[in-house]
Structure 1
Amino acid sequence: MVNLIDTHQHLVYPDVAGYSWTADIPPLASQAFPLSRYIELTASHNVIGTLFMETGVDDADYKAEARYVADLAKQDGSGIVGVIASCRPEDDAGFTDWLDECDDLGVAGFRRILHVMPDDLSTTSTFRRNVQALGKRGKTFDLCMLPKQLKNGVALAAACPDTTIVLNHCGVPDIAGGKMDLWRADMMALAALPNVYCKLSGLLAYCAPGHATQEVIQPYFDHALAAFGANRMVWGSDWPVVELANGLPDWLAVTQSMLGALSDDEAAEIGSETARKIFGLH
């Protein structure tokens, strides 16, 4: 099996933070998804380390979440080798102070979820300047957008050439709707920018109910791979959102099947080596 570094591990602790976005999603609502459960699900699946990904907690709680997980990562056997924290690049107030604090929290990168925000949020000069500041600190920026927003993602990445941009979930294609043409073109435009990397994650959750299979997502993976190349792709579980499909063990099996069809070098790059490179892991 291919060794995996999970660059998109969510954890849900309702006693630490609020997760309002889960309220209308029965598999996720009002439930905890702790590290102990993740470790159980990934046992014997060659997950050799994780990067915690901020979980879209309520605005008042995103700093508390990062602090909590930074402490969790210090526990023996946590497997957490870094944190991707939430930030608010659209607002200068307190932005630098938060980056300074995160330097002490083991934060490897940042994310601002954009698929639930106005499409033009990332186009402002303030947003771009602050994403540029991440690159100056050697931190990555995870780009989470809907397909209709990807052109703005291209513009943001082009405006921040010294910041490594990690495109979440292969650009969130509309797999259930079968709308592939515009997504394909925008993926090629993103891949043309050398500072953009693609994350293999989330795809099964975008399939129509009952159709979350490797066969259905394979064309989307194939296009992402052709566009970016294995040396610009990383892997992520997107747990517990993957529960909207067939669960984490199924995604791990599908992952091993897809990567197993590649050369050993390509599989290793997607599974772990590209993550080591862009997040500075050892």
Structure 2
Amino acid sequence: MRILDTHLHLIYPEKFTYPWLGNAPKINKPWPVEAYFAEALPLGIESALHMEVDVVETDAVAESEFVLTLPRIAGAIAACRPEHMNFVDQIERLSEHAHIKGVRRILHEAPDELSQSDLFIENLRHLPDYDLSFDLCLRADQLWLGANLAQRAPDVTFILDHCGNPDINGLGLDPWRGALKEIARNPNVMAKVSGIVNHCDPGWTAETLRPYVEHVIETFGWDRVVWGSDHPVATVTGGTLTDWVNAAREIVRNASPDEQAKLFHRNAERIYKV
């Protein structure tokens, strides 16, 4: 089963500035495309969408423009700032590149009120005009923010990153499970099966992740889920890209070939218009 990775981070410190990497010593180094695909290709990952890596704002457009020149990068999700008055100017420039498929504003470290302002929401409503989606990066306790955005911008396609970031090592399945059902009531929200190994202790297995992945698929359905590696962030807790791919395949092993194809590449091709 071939895979389209919808959440690859490439890191080029010689080209761009990543302020947050100073607090992430395990991955604070170059992570180039060649090293990723050396491991990814044998796993069946044939191409990837690059997810913005929270560079300084002045590097945001250049980052996406650069990664689109790299081999096997099928598209990019660019950084954006919907809280700014010049947001439409930002997305007009981004839309000049056919392979920029969506945008993201990291919200899990921002004040809750940032994404709920009238300006932020009105700016998001322009995204369909430019054929762009919006990736939601929220903590489990913030999922109500995403539900509000989806309701107030119903024509925007939202993709919820990292299964909504369940607190696997802490609270566990609840109250995340109920909050996920609430955001899934909005038909314009999709879910990305990615990033949950970041919330596990080292030594996690497919069985550690199974109840979370299965709940996401059950809640959103096979037509509204995509798969992402979150590489290299997903290596912080000791696992590898190979570990995560193998675990994901094991969790859905009993699903039909059609259902597996939807998760691993077909939905992503439709949702991100690859």
* TM-score, scaled to structure 2: 0.96
Match of 2:35 in 1: 37
Superposed CA offset, 1:170-219 (max 9, x none): 001100113322211110011111000000001111112x2421111111
Query: How far is the alpha carbon of 1:261 from its aligned partner?
Result: 2.3
Q: Distance in 1 between matches of 2:162 and 2:79?
A: 17
Mapped to 2, the partners of 1:83 and 1:24 lie a distance apart of 25
Equivalences for residues 1-282 of structure 1 within 5 A: 2-29=1-28, 31-72=29-70, 78-93=71-86, 95-105=87-97, 106-208=99-201, 210-245=202-237, 246-281=239-274
Q: Which amino acid aligns with 1:219?
A: P
Separation (CA, whole Å) in 2 of partners of 1:126 and 1:38 = 38
Q: Counterpart in 2 of 1:75?
A: none
**Amino acid across the alignment from 1:180:** L
* 2:92 and 2:130 in contact (8 A); partners too: no
- Which sections of structure 1, spanning at least 5 residues, go unmatched? 73-77
* Equivalent-residue separation in structure 2 for 1:71 and 1:230 (angstroms): 32
8 A Cα contact 2:95 2:130, kept in partner: no
Alpha-carbon offset, residue 68 of structure 1: 1.4
Matching residue's letter, 2:33: L
**For 1:44, what is the secondary structure of its paired residue?**
helix
Indicate conservation of the 8 Å contact 1:204/1:213, yes or no. no
Q: Is the 8 A contact 1:154 1:190 kept in 2?
A: yes
Tell me how far 1:59 sits from its aligned partner: 2.4
Q: Helix, strand or coil: the match of 2:126?
A: helix
What code does the residue aligned with 2:114 have? L
Q: How many residues align?
A: 272
Q: Which 10-residue stretch deviates more, 242-251 or 32-41?
A: 242-251
Report how far residue 56 of structure 1 moved.
Answer: 1.1
Distance 2:117 2:204 in 1: 37
Q: Percent identity?
A: 36
- Mapped to 2, the partners of 1:274 and 1:43 lie a distance apart of 20
Alpha-carbon distance in structure 2 between the residues aligned to 1:25 and 1:101? 31
> Aligned AA for 1:7?
T
- Which ranges of 4 or more aligned residues in structure 1 deviate by more than 4 Å? none
Distance in 2 between the 1:262 and 1:131 partners? 35
Partner amino acid, structure 2, of 1:218: R
Tell me if the contact between 1:205 and 1:212 (Cα under 8 Å) persists in the aligned partners: no
Q: 1:47, CA displacement in angstroms?
A: 1.0
Report deviation, 1:139: 0.9
Partners of 1:137 and 1:59 lie apart in 2 by 21
Read off the aligned partner of 1:238 and give its amino acid letter. D
Distance 2:197 2:131 in 1: 31
Q: SS at the partner of 1:32? A: coil
TM-score, normalised relative to structure 1: 0.93
Alpha-carbon separation, structure 2, partners of 1:212 and 1:24: 23
Report Cα offsets for 1:102-153 as digits up to 9, x if no partner: 1222210000000111111110011111111112322110000111111111
SS in 1 for 2:6: strand
